[in-house]
């Protein structure tokens, strides 16, 4: 059997990529009655929201560090109650740096208390700040940067600004110089009720999502790369999707299938400029797509605690840094001292027979310094990052080295290799990417994009919600009697 065996000659929709955005969109379209093909170039589904296993009984989560409370509602509405019921709060978030030591549940009530009692900010200012953030909308034409927003409410308070921005820089890669909205919306989302994760681990989540997609009839193909979105002009001169060209990444086979809709979960720039091709798009749109800046990337250090060993409780999510003063550029510096430890105690996977502990260090990084390294220097710097991570952790768990029996480092190059994101971007694009993503169907009828974009539509919650929004648009297109080719597509959904 190869991954291309038994493909139908035609689907209503082909989804490129099985990240959270792609899987949500594929599942939604299948539930609406459409014939959906989901192609993932990797052997594993989930995209960045995935996991890997290593000798010694270790399972590591790539991006299960924390998301807002909104995931409970989104997964219940668009996935299943079983998935939604497993989402639970992380109650112990810590910030340990030269400016302050804060222990918090990371919700509005607790942050208000900390800002007022520990940082001595007048209660009214804190109240006004939260009210101001709650009123922000992503479609507002607000030219302010996050730096300007902070100066408006907390002038001359770099410590307060650090407390507010550092966690969000980890959650969406935003900096002081990004639009204020990219901080405001994501921070407000977390402040509503705190930070949540999925109990059972990403492996359980992806298994549940896969079962649900199969039950709804999604044709899932792993190890299948979508090389090209095939388009042509219709009788009225409008360019539209007609199919995709596929390649089996294991055995090298090729196939072409017809479809009315392509919904891409791949990076938006790659979707437009490579999969469709510049020659098929308006020059002004091509220029806008090329101008979109990619977001930052990351390194991670995966530390597996030996079976039978326990570790003390040091917090669930521990933001550490030795930098003083805080700056957005220090946060992504090649030699940054800023590291966040996600600690996975046995209750992360309560179903496992043997209780396990793991710690994942996250470090924000940029692509260029890592891309430029020779093989020897690459190995050297991976070892350095692992060593710095262990040395940092020794402050909180002095005997950690004797408890860990697996250490592995991922870099921006790893992200690029496994999910194909240009420059190993962790959170898609900067803000301007959202406009390009939403404009795609106007360039090519039947072409949609759902995936980390614009800082806001990123992270687990952002991409799931974006997948829902975009699949609803694709559904409308498939049902529109003026949107050819509708013959078989409409028939299969009973339109």
Name the residues that contact ligand FAD, by CB under 6 A: 16-22, 39-42, 47-49, 62-63, 65-67, 225-226, 265-266, 298, 300, 362, 415, 419-421, 426-428, 451-452, 458-460, 463
Q: Which value, to the nearest 10 degrees, does the dihedral of the CA atoms of residues 380, 384, 387, 389 take?
A: -140
Residue 19 or 201: the one with the smaller Cβ distance to ligand FAD is 19
In the complex, the smallest distance separating the C-beta of residue 473 from ligand FAD, rounded to whole angstroms, is 16
Show the beta-strand stretches assigned E in 266-389. Answer: 297-305, 317-320, 339-344, 358-365
- Phi first, then psi, for residue 6 (nearest 5°) are 60, 30
Residue 18 or 447: the one with the smaller Cβ distance to ligand FAD is 18
In the complex, the smallest distance separating the C-beta of residue 47 from ligand FAD, rounded to whole angstroms, is 2
In the complex, the smallest distance separating the C-beta of residue 86 from ligand FAD, rounded to whole angstroms, is 15
* Residue 379 and residue 389 in contact, taking contact as beta carbons nearer than 8 Å: no
Q: Which residues of 256-273 are buried (b: 16+ CB within 10 A; e: fewer)?
A: ebbbbbbbbbbbbbbbbb
Give dist(CA 30, CA 300) in Å, integer.
Answer: 35
Q: Is 344 helix (H, G, I), strand (E, B) or coil?
A: strand
Task: Give me 175's structure tokens.
Answer: 């900096």
Task: Give me 344's structure tokens.
Answer: 């996975």
Residue 37 or 133: the one with the smaller Cβ distance to ligand FAD is 37
Residue 347 or 482: the one with the smaller Cβ distance to ligand FAD is 347
In the complex, the smallest distance separating the C-beta of residue 392 from ligand FAD, rounded to whole angstroms, is 17
Nearest to 150 by CA among 138, 170, 168, 137: 168
In the complex, the smallest distance separating the C-beta of residue 340 from ligand FAD, rounded to whole angstroms, is 9
> Starting from the edge strand earliest in sequence, which strands make up the sheet with 358-365, in order?
100-104, 93-97, 317-320, 339-344, 358-365, 297-305, 404-410
Residue 121 or 297: the one with the smaller Cβ distance to ligand FAD is 297
Residue 441 or 462: the one with the smaller Cβ distance to ligand FAD is 462
In the complex, the smallest distance separating the C-beta of residue 447 from ligand FAD, rounded to whole angstroms, is 14
In the complex, the smallest distance separating the C-beta of residue 493 from ligand FAD, rounded to whole angstroms, is 24
Residue 444 or 490: the one with the smaller Cβ distance to ligand FAD is 444
Give dist(CA 259, CA 9) in Å, integer.
Answer: 9
């Amino acid at each position: 059997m190869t991954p291309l065996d038994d493909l139908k000659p035609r689907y209503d929709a082909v989804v490129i990529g099985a990240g959270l955005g792609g899987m949500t969109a594929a599942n939604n379209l299948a539930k609406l009655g459409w014939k959906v093909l989901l192609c993932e170039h990797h052997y594993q589904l989930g995209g960045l929201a995935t996991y890997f296993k290593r000798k010694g009984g270790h399972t590591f989560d790539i991006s299960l560090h924390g998301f807002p409370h909104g995931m409970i509602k989104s997964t219940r509405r668009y996935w299943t109650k079983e998935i939604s019921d497993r989402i639970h709060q992380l109650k112990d978030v810590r910030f340990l740096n030269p400016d302050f030591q804060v222990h918090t549940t990371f919700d509005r009530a607790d942050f208000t208390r900390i800002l007022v009692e520990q940082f001595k900010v007048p209660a009214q200012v804190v109240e006004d700040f939260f009210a101001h953030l709650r009123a922000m909308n992503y479609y507002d034409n607000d030219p302010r940067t996050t730096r300007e927003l902070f100066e408006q409410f907390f002038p001359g308070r770099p410590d307060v600004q650090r407390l507010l921005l550092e966690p969000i820089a980890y959650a969406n890669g935003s900096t002081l110089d990004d639009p204020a909205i990219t901080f405001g919306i994501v921070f407000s989302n977390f402040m509503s009720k705190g930070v949540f994760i999925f109990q059972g681990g990403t492996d359980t989540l992806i298994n549940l999502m896969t079962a649900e997609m199969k039950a709804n009839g999604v044709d899932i193909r792993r190890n299948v790369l979508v090389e090209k979105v095939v388009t042509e002009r219709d009788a009225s001169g409008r360019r539209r999707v007609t199919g995709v060209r596929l390649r089996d990444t294991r055995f090298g086979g090729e196939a072409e299938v017809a479809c009315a809709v392509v919904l891409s979960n791949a990076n938006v720039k790659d979707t437009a400029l490579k999969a469709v091709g510049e020659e098929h798009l308006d020059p002004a749109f091509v220029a806008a797509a090329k101008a979109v800046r990619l977001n930052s990337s990351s390194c991670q250090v995966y530390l597996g605690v030996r079976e039978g060993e326990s570790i003390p409780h040091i917090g669930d999510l521990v933001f550490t840094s030795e930098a003083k003063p805080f700056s957005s550029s220090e946060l992504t510096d090649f030699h940054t001292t800023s590291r966040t430890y996600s600690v996975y105690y046995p209750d992360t996977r309560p179903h496992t027979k043997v209780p396990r502990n793991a710690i994942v260090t996250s470090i924000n990084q940029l692509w260029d310094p890592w891309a430029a390294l020779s093989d020897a220097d690459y190995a050297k710097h991976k070892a350095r990052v692992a060593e710095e991570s262990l040395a940092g952790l020794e402050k909180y768990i002095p005997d950690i080295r004797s408890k860990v029996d697996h250490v592995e480092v991922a870099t921006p190059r790893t992200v690029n290799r496994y999910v194909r994101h240009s420059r190993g971007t962790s959170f898609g694009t900067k803000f301007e990417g959202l406009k390009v993503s939403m404009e795609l169907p106007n360039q090519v009828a039947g072409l949609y994009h759902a995936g980390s974009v614009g800082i806001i539509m990123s992270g687990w919650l952002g991409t799931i919600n974006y997948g829902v929004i975009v699949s609803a648009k694709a559904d409308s297109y498939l049902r529109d009697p003026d949107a050819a080719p509708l013959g078989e597509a409409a028939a299969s959904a009973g339109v």
